[in-house]
Structure 1
């Protein structure tokens, strides 16, 4: 599929390819908000893969704008209820949505029912001609996500059907083998590290067939830890991350309670990859 909608890329100058999109809106939960990739100079204090993608998309585009409506802890229906309408009001020509991960972690969740809900959402997002990017779940054996690997696989297959129905682009994290490296994950083992977000941003840009300046990183293998070191790390993780997460589930609380979107309106992208062309 030619996601650019053109037979050949339009270029500015000698070697600055220009993609067709001018307004990008990102929807989702903590993954899209950028949790795990702290950056004090970014809105909300986090950067993340979506910011990194927007930085690259803004290169050579004087009028490119980016909004990020994602909020940590949100379930799929909460994303639909709170983010879909505002997104449509912003009239984007490129939308990314990653949703369903927080649902799948919960006991009794149904990946087939989630996919049906996502299908209706993608139909709405694509109804005005926007390119829609969908994320499937990663194949990981991390201490929490590895327990729902089967449900993630079912959801991923359904997601491919949804993408095919609406001509959406699949950002394939399941096939991104680099994510099996522990350096790609934050210390809470639920969110991605800066390196993980960078790697995912590269994959998204490749999926959109957009030339970019991101270089693939090949982290050195982690040194083997002794049993005692590994056990100590597991105990720290359990105390600082897993137990608070379980308590929030019991109390029906979300890590995103009281949090507002970090980029609620489309605006210029300011970042290391941003290259704004001078106006004539």
Structure 2
């Protein structure tokens, strides 16, 4: 791998993880790891261009149909693709179909860019991860195999102790905090061959006293009311949190922060 390479453009493809939820900015928009990565890359390269086609809630079929051809046509230096995890969290999931769609995406994107970046997505500790772990690991096995075949990089976030720590996850328990996104940006930055800015991004935060039992139960109740029940309702009605939403940065334009 080239050390401290110069890349002139970045296109990010995916779902809410790449859109940047829950790294909320004061104006109500989301930042996230892809924006942070673009900012670092732009600081090194005048005229650096960036597009982010990710939309929350998208399944891998929607990513392929709505984002992949657009991303490939941009001919960017670097393309990141993270998708399929939303599929694994559905009550019914055809993993053979997910793998086939992921393969289709990789086969289109890899020849269109200098470097395709795939990821083994992070997952916090808890019963939800345990329930869906076999599907997630099947997805990651497909990611590894496709990366080897097509010369893509794989950023392993799934094995990072820091990103399994509940403190790095927002109250919805589905999306990373600002610090979590910062660590993902650092992981991709290093995978692309740049000198580390945080060599210990994978290490969890310092040990802190766990919250009191009552505080945990209050948090559980709030999570169920504000996030879990609406999420279940969307699954039952076939709706998505991203229905009708456009990509955050649909065109490959100079990044200005």
Q: TM-score, normalised by structure 2?
A: 0.92
- Give runs of aligned pairs for residues 128-147 of structure 1, distance below 5 A: 128-147=112-131
Deviation of the 1:139 alpha carbon? 4.4
Q: CA deviation at 1:214?
A: 5.0
Residue in 2 that maps onto 1:195? 179
CA contact (8 A) 1:63 1:268 kept: yes
- In our comparison, the structure showing a higher alpha carbon Rg is 1
Give distance in 2, aligned partners of 1:89 and 1:206: 26
Match of 2:220 in 1: 234
Matched, 1:210 2:194: yes
Higher mean Cα deviation, 209-218 or 113-122?
209-218
Shift, 1:220, TM fit: 3.4
Tell me the equivalent position of 2:235: 249
Q: Partners in 1 of 2:18 and 2:123 — Cα distance?
A: 18
Give 3-state SS (helix, strand or coil) of 1:165's partner.
Answer: helix
1:177 aligns with 2:161: yes
Q: State how far apart, in whole Å, the 1-side matches of 2:42 and 2:241 are.
A: 31
Residue 105 of structure 1 corresponds to 89
Equivalent residue, structure 2, for 1:14: none
Is 1:45–2:29 an aligned residue pair?
yes
Match for residue 25 of structure 1?
11
Give per-residue Cα distances to partners, 1:81-127, cap 9 Å, x unaligned: 01112112212121001000110000221334312221121111112
Bigger shift: residues 187-196 or 131-140: 131-140
String of CA shifts for 1:6-62, please: whole Å, max 9, x gaps.
xxx5xxxxxxx5x23211100000000001101145xx7111000111111112211
**How far off its partner does 1:213 sit?**
4.0
| CA distance in 2: counterparts of 1:22 and 1:247, whole angstroms | 42
Tell me what 1:95 maps to: 79
Q: TM-score, normalised by structure 1?
A: 0.85
On the 8 A contact 2:19/2:56 being kept in 1, the answer is yes
Change (3 A) 1:234 1:158: same
**Aligned residues of 1:98 and 1:134 also touching (Cα < 8 A):** yes
Moved more, 221-230 or 87-96: 221-230
Q: Sort the Cα spacing of 1:140 and 1:60 in 2 relative to 1 into closer, same or farther, 3 A.
A: closer
Q: Where is the helix percentage greater, Structure 1 or Structure 2? A: 2
For each residue in 1:120-154, what CA deviation from the matched residue of structure 2 results, as whole angstroms up to 9, or x when unmatched? Answer: 21111112343110011324323433320121112
Aligned length: 255
Residue 228 (structure 1) shift? 1.9
In the other structure, the counterpart of 1:266 is: 252
